[in-house]
Amino acid sequence: GNSVTQMEGPVTLSEEAFLTINCTYTATGYPSLFWYVQYPGEGLQLLLKATKADDKGSNKGFEATYRKETTSFHLEKGSVQVSDSAVYFCALDYNQGGKLIFGQGTELSVKP
């Protein structure tokens, strides 16, 4: 079936460090891919998305490239801030019908 796997957290980084959160997926066809972020005590917010192979989504310094050959959508940021501390979710929508399938979430903690 369709699924999303993320690297386990928590991930703890110092401010200005480079961030990578790995995400791989299994899906039939050509899903759309998303990264959502959940700040403490809040709902999820869309961070970025990509709808076809080789698309790069970007927002707030975060980037992810849709790699069909490796079925991956890794999240990266060159220099993290304390305010980036949150839980990050990778997700796919495989039939454009709105049924998002989420990974298990990766908690990021950035220390000053």
Partner 1 sequence: DTAVSQTPKYLVTQMGNDKSIKCEQNLGHDTMYWYKQDSKKFLKIMFSYNNKELIINETVPNRFSPKSPDKAHLNLHINSLELGDSAVYFCASSGTGQAVPDTQYFGPGTRLTVL
Q: What is the closest distance, in whole angstroms, from the C-beta atom of residue 79 to partner 1 in the complex? A: 26
Per-residue burial over 39-62, b = 16 or more CB atoms within 10 Å of its CB, e = otherwise: eeeeebeebbbbeeeebebeeeeb
Q: For partner 1, which is the closer residue by CB, 8 or 16?
A: 8
- Pick 84 or 93: Cβ nearer partner 1: 93
Shortest approach of partner 1 to residue 56 CB, angstroms? 17
Binding site for partner 1 (CB under 8 A): 32, 36, 38, 41-46, 49, 51, 87, 89, 93, 96-102, 104-105, 107
